Structure 1
């Protein structure tokens, strides 16, 4: 294969060892228990102190397969404990990507253990760039195998002790034949419609009211009280004699949420949804229109308006109005 000039910088990184990445917490039984629960591991050596006391270890120990978990950054990327290196052990991959090898065709890893890890130990690991292969040809394209080795240690006053090792290998490759996108006419792409609400005998009056431009709220004919969502019986007096009241559709924003993710077509995002307190005293959830999500405020006045979607479904939405 061709020996590119830029490979000299990549190969100069082989043998480089990056500094320590520390664990946030000491090895502890709470995290061991949660890991075992999540992974379906029921070995009492890891979670039962009475049983573990009868073994050669004399106490519970951490599952070996949990080794990598102790030094993970958590929910936020690169959020490592104080004292950890700020060097980037993956910069070699970035150099290869920059030369037109952006894809990953395969990865593999091997986790080996020197001994069990005990409660109270504090771990860290270092990363070694072990190898960058010659350019290899695959059925999908050409690329480079990059092998890294993470060595895990336990901090000891008498000298840190190695407890395990993780070998991680990835191939960064350049796709050989990229298929051309198939052009489709707009008419060939099916239009995604809004999901229709479930309509029953108890709620049909409400949706028929929307089609007629009326916000109908269920009302008991016995006690005259209102309720929403509609039900088969009055929640106040338990009467089955139910009708409806046509609301003026005015009220205030009792609460709201702004949906950002996941984005589900055909809805627009960000998608503000409000819980509306009608002047008649009942609350109902509905979409909000005509407002920037950042401008929403609890208590602001709103007014209903009816929007028809897909030429077949009319929904009550609420627009903020001036005081």
Structure 2
């Protein structure tokens, strides 16, 4: 991989957003794939101790080896090159125009389906990583539980000093056409969660005004997000506990950019620590972003997003 010669980001032509047919989408996907690996700008900041320290605290990782040896946790690869929201020009990639064309074609719903990362080595303190993006595949149209859509797949490689690959990520999303014709003529919320046999109880609880946390029927361990097996005793006998609905804000981000279908920016996404011993991710609402702070007391509130989906969100707990 180190022998590749990724093209600069300026080689990606901007494509005007306009309604497109399925054939045009496939043709555009072929052109974007033919661009190969397109290199973006180097990270604005070098790998540094403060960011690593914040990451370790947020993840609850007490391993001292990273900072002792001057290394970054491998899963931080994307952190160093994420672009801050700013007006004007931004680095383009082979993915941008294809996603814009899908939006123009009515495929405005989006849900991430899988992400696979490969680590070649640790990023070192002081080096600047450079991302290179390669669009690989557009599959569809396919009929899914969310609606008819396309699966778009791309790869990002982060290069370190000396053009040596540090990490790779395969990322795939489903871009789908939200269903129409709900009972109250309310448009479907475009960011539909993936509901399966392991998570259905959680979403059914939200509709009933209950915050349900998966619980092992054998050892009693609580777990969120839900899974098929207990991580402690490996039992598949699972039930749930109804949480109190109270929590403390453990960590949060204010999302400004890029635009998110169905949401107005800025909005706050928080990690809420429950007294039951688990953490849950959700939007913090009924509070201006500038007044949100770590440690604030929160209570769950349930917001209907369309005729079928109710999302648990978090509002400040009144004193």
TM range (shorter): 0.3 to 0.5
TM norm structure 1: 0.47
TM norm structure 2: 0.47
Find the structure with the greater CA-based Rg: 1
